[in-house]
Every structure is written in C-alpha cells, then in structure tokens.
Structure 1
C-alpha cells in the first residue's frame, strides 16, 4: 500500500532523513517511534507531499505520491491540528465531503461526532475550539472519506482518555477492514498495544523495523518492554 525507496531529505548539508527504505501492507498498523529530531515527522510530511523530498521514490497504492490518484487514497492528521477559524465543526465535515465526493456524509458525521463527543459542538466555529477539540475535528475529517491509508502524527496528544480509547478501537476496526495505518508518536505505551510492527528512527535512519517479538529476539531481550528496546536502540554510542 505504501512503498518508500531511498528517501532522502536534506536541510542544507544535513540529512534529516538519510536514505531510508520501507513498505507498508494493507491491513497493517505500524508504529513509527523515535526521539525528538529523529526524522519521524519529516518522513511523514515527505510521504504526504507537504515537504519536497531531496531524492528517492514514494508510491501510494502503486501511484507516485504526488499524483492526484495517490492523494485520494490517504488522509493525514498532523501533530498540530489545523482548522478553519470561520467554519463550524459541521461545515468542516461538509467541506471534506464535497472535496472527496462522500455520500451520506451527514449520517457518517453524526456517528463520528458521537464517538468524539462533538455532537453538542458541531455548530461551534473552529476559532472557538480548544486544542483537544481541534484534534478531534481533524481526526473526524480524516476518517470521513474512508481512506485506504491513514498517516497519524502524534494522534493521542491533546485527547482525553475516552477519545484515546475510541481512537485505538477505530484503529482496530480499520485494520480489520484492510486499511493501512502509520502512527508516529513519542507515547510508546499508546502504540505498543495496537501496532503490528514497530519502526524506530534515530538521526534520520531506521534502526529497527519488525514486530515487537522479533525485535526482542534480535536484541536478545525477550523480557524487555517496547520502552526498553526503544531506549536501547536509540541510545548514544
């Protein structure tokens, strides 16, 4: 569903992302972990086209990631949620529905509003929403078009415990439908229970990419938690 080949992103002479290659399959939830400055968000922004890659190839559903056909297949939830100040919550959904030609969008919106406790906020303007509410609106807008692949950059930050639980449930449901999810996060606990595979980045490189069980075997740390493995793989030499 996603293929990244030799991705490089340079800022001046420094490599923020250093010639990385990986792929994601349908029905797979992959956790992208790494310390600050590891290149997680840069990688994700290059994939979705918000940053221009220096070199490499990226394909979504077999289509070059910059083509319209590829962009129709995915949704992206940024780390800092961005909403339109003068649109209501409901109007955000209507805008997405018209852009993606979503049928029965009102009915789908109501289900999402109920899930994220936004039913009584649907007539509020974007400028009047708290950061947590903006995050919820951003997630609802991303889920509305029923994309094949979702890119979440720190999706749990700003969410209350109920919203976090519901988001994890939605991840599981999407996986069962064969959707692909890439989740970038600092919150190791939030991804350990939902990810089929873990990718760990350090200094623009992928230093681990496998199931949690296989990573434990590779590190000869069968009793270790994901946090222990993460700290071991990202420690300074």
Structure 2
C-alpha cells in the first residue's frame, strides 16, 4: 500500500509553524525510517498522517484513499511512544480489544505463540498493571504483528525493550513489510534502522532536509548517525 505525503504544512497557532511543506512516499513492501532531533516535528507529522491532528494544507493518501477516510483508518495501525495501556485489562483482553476495533477474529493459538516468542509465556492472563514498561511495549508489538495492517506506524515504541526482543522485532518487521504493506518507523536507534529500513527521511525543524535509500547512506556517509551529525552541525549557528 503506497502512502503519499504531499506538501504538508502544520501550525499549532499563527506563530508556531511545526511542519514546512513536507513531501515523501512510502512504497509497497517498504520500511521508511524517520529520524530527527527532539522537537523536529516527527510525532506531529505522524499524527497528521494518521488524522489524529487535522490536515491543514497539503495532501495525504493511504493507498487510493484519503488519510481521513474510514478505509485508510481501517488499513492503518499506530504504535505510540508511550506505554499508556488500559491497566484493568489482561494482555489477552487488550489484544482481543484491538482485534475487535478492526473487526478481526483473534487466533488464540497465535496469541500464545507470540507471547512465548517475546519472552512473555503464560503472562497473557495477567493484568497490564502488573507488566513492566518493556512488557507493555512488547504487548503493543504483538497486537500490531497479529493484526498485520496494510500500513503500520511505529513511533519510538521500542524504547525499553530487551536486546532479544529487538532482534525478534527486526525479523518480524521485515516479514510484515511484504504483500503490499508499508511501514513508517520513527526511532533514535540508528543501528536498528540500518538493519531494517529501506529508505530514510531526516526531519529538522519541521522540514524534510534529506531522503535516500539506507544502502546509499551507508555507502556515502558510513552510518546513519554520521549523516545525522553532518546535517545537525551544518545547521548550527556559526
């Protein structure tokens, strides 16, 4: 599912312009990495793409549908940077709730398998209030990988999970980005992005200042961190 962001601007008020004419495309079967300093507008951009903030100018389409349409919303899933989950539910109840939102049946056997894979065996019946921060993050991932939406957006969801889960995530996200699916992955973990992302976009002060295939970045700059540092230094006052 191709995702198109064209000439998007966003301002919280007349004096605070957050996004400046942002345009990019996420192709089918592609993982787009999104990076930028804190306060660069990444989370605002994600919320505008998913219609959590109203589009003010420009155009956003998810597949052939406007981002504001029901089809686009049913095709998309958003994993936020926080772990604010309903603590009165068990892990299994949360995944069932998420499936219900999309009208999808829950495969109980797959649920048990995914909990075991992410080192949470037999914890699906425990209340979320008893989960650690890392377990809550893994629960968000399990729900997303089971639902397999056509467009998955992950905003710093991996913060706080263990290295084994990171390695498993890298395999699972590559598997997810097949059969016409697309992924937008916002992260400060540049090493992980080098492993999984096909394309990278760099947002600084609300403007998209660079976009290229990850393999080209590694060839020309060495690492994503080196690329980011080059741009940040270039924008510092002399």
Q: Is this a same-fold pair by TM over 0.5?
A: yes
Select the residue among 55, 58, 65 that pairs with 1:56.
58
- Specify the SS of the correspondent of 1:155: coil
Cα 1:223/1:230, change in 2 over 3 Å:
closer
Residues 1:136 and 2:138 are matched in the alignment: yes
Aligned residue runs from structure 1 range 157-176, under 5 A: 157-176=159-178
Aligned residue runs from structure 1 range 1-237, under 5 A: 1-12=2-13, 13-215=15-217, 222=220, 224-235=222-233, 236-237=235-236
Unmatched runs of 5 consecutive residues or more in structure 2: none
Using the TM superposition, give the Cα deviation of residue 195 of structure 1 relative to its aligned residue in structure 2, in angstroms.
0.8
Q: In the aligned structure 1, how far is the partner of 2:139 from the partner of 2:217?
A: 35
Q: In the aligned structure 2, how far is the partner of 1:96 from the partner of 1:213?
A: 35
Q: In the aligned structure 2, how far is the partner of 1:108 from the partner of 1:30?
A: 27
The total of aligned residue pairs comes to 233
Q: In the aligned structure 2, how far is the partner of 1:57 from the partner of 1:108?
A: 38
The alignment's TM-score, normalised by the length of structure 2, stands at 0.91
Q: In the aligned structure 1, how far is the partner of 2:132 from the partner of 2:143?
A: 16
Q: In the aligned structure 1, how far is the partner of 2:164 from the partner of 2:177?
A: 20
RMSD across aligned positions (CA): 1.7
> After superposition, what is the alpha-carbon deviation per residue over 1:13-45, rounded to whole angstroms, capped at 9, x for unaligned?
221111111111110011101111111111111
